[in-house]
Amino acid sequence: MVNCVKCGLLGVRDKYRRLMEVDEEPRRLCSPPSGSQLLFLCCAHEISFSQNDNDCRSKLHEERDCQAFIEWRPGFTPTEHKEMIRETEERERDRQWRENQARAQREWQERQAEREDARAKRDREWRMEDIRHLKTDLWVKILIPILAAAVGALSAWVAKG
């Protein structure tokens, strides 16, 4: 649970309608600083403040569940607090995008390595089959002339015979 006193989105407008930070003392005392409009304002539009001091004080210190709460950092306006959050979110999105890209790259490289392994296996199998065919062809090319010569010699010997 949080309260508005500790929120960086608590602000006031000056006489020129510029958004200003609320310093520590006006936060604690629940009184807008001099030179500002009379009312505090929530830059996230989560709550509205009235001119009633008691109502304002109770709303500023009331513990609530606020999704827009940003821890107050002295010296920064509500707009700057929003910008800091936006930059943090943007850095987080960029980090996640880089992680996703790196994961996609690794997965792609793994798929490529698997494809390369499968291709190399097919090539080895093809080479082994090719070597078996070459050996068979070699034996056929050697044995046929030897058998033809043996048959010719045998038939010549039988004819002399």
Is residue 10, in this structure, part of any structural domain at all? yes
Percent pLDDT > 70 in the chain is: 92
Is residue 36, in this structure, part of any structural domain at all? yes
Is residue 8, in this structure, part of any structural domain at all? yes
**Across the chain, what does the average pLDDT equal?**
87
3-state secondary structure the chain: CECHHHECCEEEEECCCCEEECCHHHHHHCCCCCCECCCCEECCCCCCCCCCHHHHHHHHHCCECCCCCCECCCCCCHHHHHHHHHHHHHHHHHHHHHHHHHHHHHHHHHHHHHHHHHHHHHHHHHHHHHHHHHHHHHHHHHHHHHHHHHHHHHHHHHHHC
Q: In the numeric block, which tokens belong to residue 100? A: 């996703």
Is residue 155, in this structure, part of any structural domain at all? no
| pLDDT value of residue 123 | 95
Rounded Cα gap, residues 45 and 66, in angstroms = 11
Is residue 154, in this structure, part of any structural domain at all? no
Question: Which residues span the domain enclosing 34?
Answer: 4-77
Least confident span in 23-27, 38-42, 65-69, 96-100 = 38-42
Is residue 55, in this structure, part of any structural domain at all? yes
Whole-prediction pTM value? 0.56
Rounded Cα gap, residues 152 and 102, in angstroms = 74
Q: Contact, 47 vs 12, CB < 8 A?
A: no
Rounded Cα gap, residues 20 and 57, in angstroms = 19
Q: Contact, 36 vs 26, CB < 8 A?
A: no
Given a cut of 70, whether residue 39 has pLDDT beyond it is yes
Is residue 60, in this structure, part of any structural domain at all? yes
Domain count, the chain: 1
Is residue 152, in this structure, part of any structural domain at all? no
